[in-house]
Amino acid sequence: MSAPSDPHGRRWPAWLHDGQSALRHETSVSIEGDSLTIDGFAPVPLESLRRLDARGLLYGHKDIGGWRLGFDVEPPAAILWRLPAATHYGGLIDRIGLWRAVAALIVLSALALVAAVQGFGLIARAIPYSWEQKLGDAISGDFGEHACRAPAGQQALDGLARRLSPASRPIRIGVVDIPVVNAVALPGGRILIFRGLIDEAASPDEVAGVLAHEIGHVEHRHVLVALLRRFGIGLLIGSGGTAAEYGQALIDSRYSRAAESEADDYSIARLRAAGISPAATAALFRRLGKDEAGLPGVFAYLASHPPSADRQRRFARAAKAMAGARPALDPAQWAAVRAMCGKAKPKGDFPFRF
């Protein structure tokens, strides 16, 4: 947080989405007269605020869509009592009106029934991709402070993504300075690669295999299904959680074995179509398999993933069936990608999560 808590209630740590970008700003607030002062931002009249939850931890702005002020810890009474109280029906109903809320409830009840009978996969496929992209943008904004921005490396990864993804649904890649061997697929075709994966990878072909696997999760809508299972239908109306909670849920998510197999099948198909040998990905799983035997606690994700040995054999068989291959990136491109987050950490320091 940008400021410590104040036991006298004068200032209190908070976070802000300003409605202009997807970034989450850590800040602090206080009450000055009839306004809420927000460190680093213009004061907001108290009458412009509206309460969005029952506990008083989340507020919106009547005139700015997407503006959200939240508290991770309940503020002291000196601040809380001056903020808007909960209305009779609740924040959502007050925003859209009682009868519209009733109609929405009927629709959501029908969707819940469909989810119970057909599963969340059917609902996920019915969600407009444009809506999914906005959700992905909001989630990725919470990783903004960790983003590694380097034009040459970004250009190389963007080109690799175009080779591995369908032209009809562009994939947007970002690299974040988080020392874990992992990558995460977000809604709307956003994929974040953690610097630990790049540092640990023996070749760009290994990164390509992981990237294609994550694209497979996007294409099969596994990402939205995971969020719907965690947050329910509230995800669709913005009452299921915050962007930060959605992002953490996806990092912690454990896809079903069937979903992981589908993503692996997609990865193999796209690697072969791009002329990239799946042999490097098989080698990655070979290393994973060795670590699984020695560090079972680190690899809790294996309960829902196919064993690495099985995945290694699948990618190795696919590699044997290829007549020829070319590297995912040339040496200059690979060097640019590896330099995106600065000096690489020594190999072996990070747990695998992919």
Give residue-wise pLDDT tens across range 95-109.
555 566 666 666 666
Q: Tell me the mean pLDDT in the region 137-152.
A: 81
Give the list of residues 6+ apart from residue 290 with CB closer than 8 angstroms, or none.
none
* Integer Cα distance of 193 and 17 in angstroms: 24
CB atoms within 10 A of CB 116: 9
More confident residue, 40 or 221: 40
Q: Calculate what percentage of the chain has a pLDDT beyond 70.
A: 69
> How far, in Å, CA of 170 to CA of 190, rounded?
9
| Residue with more model confidence, 217 or 142 | 217
Between 313 and 229, name the one with better pLDDT: 313
Q: Using one digit for the tens of pLDDT, what is the confidence trace for 246-277?
A: 666 566 566 777 888 899 999 999 999 999 99
- The whole-model pTM stands at 0.59
Compute the Cα dihedral for 257, 262, 263, 269 and give only its sign: positive
Q: Check pLDDT > 70 for residue 294.
A: no
Would you state the structure tokens that stand for residue 20, as one six-digit string? Answer: 């202009």
Q: Give the chain's mean pLDDT.
A: 77
**What is the distance between the alpha carbons of residues 231 and 72, in angstroms, rounded to a whole number?**
18
Strand partners, 185: 191
Q: What is the 3-state secondary structure (H, E, C) of 267-283?
A: HHHHHHHCCCCCHHHHH
CB contact at 8 A, 308 and 295: no
Residue type for position 281: T
Q: Which two tokens stand for residue 227?
A: 């969020």
